[in-house]
Amino acid sequence: MTDIKSMDLCQLTEYLSQAGEKKFRAKQIYEWLHSKHVRNFEEMSNLPKNLRTYLVEQCELVSLNTVKVQESKTDGTRKYLFALSDGNLVESVLMRYKFGNSVCISSQVGCRMGCRFCASTLDGLERSLKPSEMLDQIYAIARDTGERISNVVVMGTGEPLDNFENLIQFIKLLSNEDGLNISQRNITVSTCGIVPEMIRLADEKLQITLAISLHAATDEKRKALMPIANRYTIQELLKACRYYFDMTGRRLTFEYSLVGGVNDTDVDATELIHLLKGMNCHVNLIPVNPIKERDYVESGNAQVVAFKNKLEKNGINVTIRREMGRDIDGACGQLRRRHSQEQQSGGSEL
Ligand code: SAH
């Protein structure tokens, strides 16, 4: 079956011309898929019956099924658990900010990067998501809420640069004017730092924001938290960041999850300042969200504020990420994991 929703307009036009269809049909179908977000071919009411039948027989229309929605009582954040057509589950989050709605999507089912504090990676990688499966997380949320979505962050489960081609196609479809038309400047991709893929991404010259999960200022500390640090040093990582900036003109974001007693001391702040001094960047501090499988603890509030102040005093742009949806398993991979475990143990209160 052809995954028609992963095609851009050119590919769709080419595909339909092989079936003897005119060019304008591609545009009509593209609109049904990416602007009206229909869930089956029968709804494409301006297509002739024989074309609809052809599509039903030849194509798959990827559309996720909502398994569970949880809404935070404190900040309106909505967390979705979706089922893919093969039964795999992915999670996505809608965050409502003053500046607009932001959706956080998953790029893979599971993850093989092995970061120590992250729940998404505990069972390894199942498979990568197709462009259509990434897109439909956003479409499903738009359908569900009827609200406009202005920002997308690829910060859910998975390592986006471990799914490179599909990620690029997804970004192109998402920012296309005949689809949701989300500006690339409002799309952020977060990576644990796969250096060669960062360089490849820079060469694509997209206008997206690249966020790097740094989490430590020395190789030794980073290796203890993130296996990827055994493959690339921080210096190699920063070199790739500078290349990304040179190619795109986009300021980088560094994510730094503060883990109590591990990377949140005054010395850690000093080392981080030393590392980032003079770089055009922004630091996002995230108090670690403890997962029960590991014994990492959150930094105390005073520690977080002291860390932030020290960076700020030294001229580094820094924000503390507002923790949204903590009451609803907001951290990567937690909802999917809990759901699967409850299914296995027979009872589910979800
Ligand atoms: N694989 C990508 C994107 C997914 S994770 C990456 O590594 O960047 C999005 C961010 O949340 C990353 O910075 C990740 O390190 C961080 N993260 C994962 N689990 C966390 C937890 N339990 N507490 C705090 N941050 C976490």
CA of 265 to the centre of ligand 1 (A): 20
pLDDT by residue, tens only, the chain of 350 residues: 999 999 999 999 999 999 999 999 999 999 999 999 999 999 999 999 999 999 999 999 999 999 999 998 888 899 999 999 999 999 999 999 889 999 999 999 999 999 999 999 999 999 999 999 999 999 999 999 999 999 999 999 999 999 999 999 999 999 999 999 999 999 999 999 999 999 999 999 999 999 999 999 999 999 999 999 999 999 999 999 999 999 999 999 999 999 999 999 999 999 999 999 999 999 999 999 989 889 899 999 999 999 999 999 999 999 998 666 666 665 556 667 777 776 666 443 33
Within this chain, do residues 199 and 302 fall inside the same structural domain, yes or no? yes
* Residue 328 resides in a domain: no
Within this chain, do residues 345 and 314 fall inside the same structural domain, yes or no? no
* Residue in the structure block whose two tokens are 């001229």: 315
What's the confidence (pLDDT) of residue 92?
Answer: 97
The total number of structural domains in the chain stands at 3
Last residue of a domain, one of 15, 42, 60: 60
Within this chain, do residues 157 and 272 fall inside the same structural domain, yes or no? no
Q: Is the CB of 263 under 6 A from ligand 1?
A: no
Last residue of a domain, one of 60, 81, 110: 60
Instruction: Choose the residue to mutate in 257, 319, 326 for probing ligand 1, maximizing ligand atoms within 8 Å of C-beta.
Output: 257
Within this chain, do residues 109 and 140 fall inside the same structural domain, yes or no? yes
Within this chain, do residues 74 and 13 fall inside the same structural domain, yes or no? no
Q: Is the CB of 159 under 6 A from ligand 1?
A: yes
Within this chain, do residues 22 and 79 fall inside the same structural domain, yes or no? no
CA of 112 to the centre of ligand 1 (A): 13
* Domain range for 158: 63-178+334-350
Nearest CA to ligand 1 atom 21: 289
* Residue 243 resides in a domain: yes
Q: Is the CB of 210 under 6 A from ligand 1?
A: no
What's the confidence (pLDDT) of residue 339?
Answer: 72
Instruction: Determine phi and psi for 341, rounding to 5 degrees.
Output: -65, -40
* Residue 79 resides in a domain: yes
Q: Is the CB of 291 under 6 A from ligand 1?
A: yes
* Residue 289 resides in a domain: yes
CA of 255 to the centre of ligand 1 (A): 8
CATH of the domain at 264: 3.20.20.70
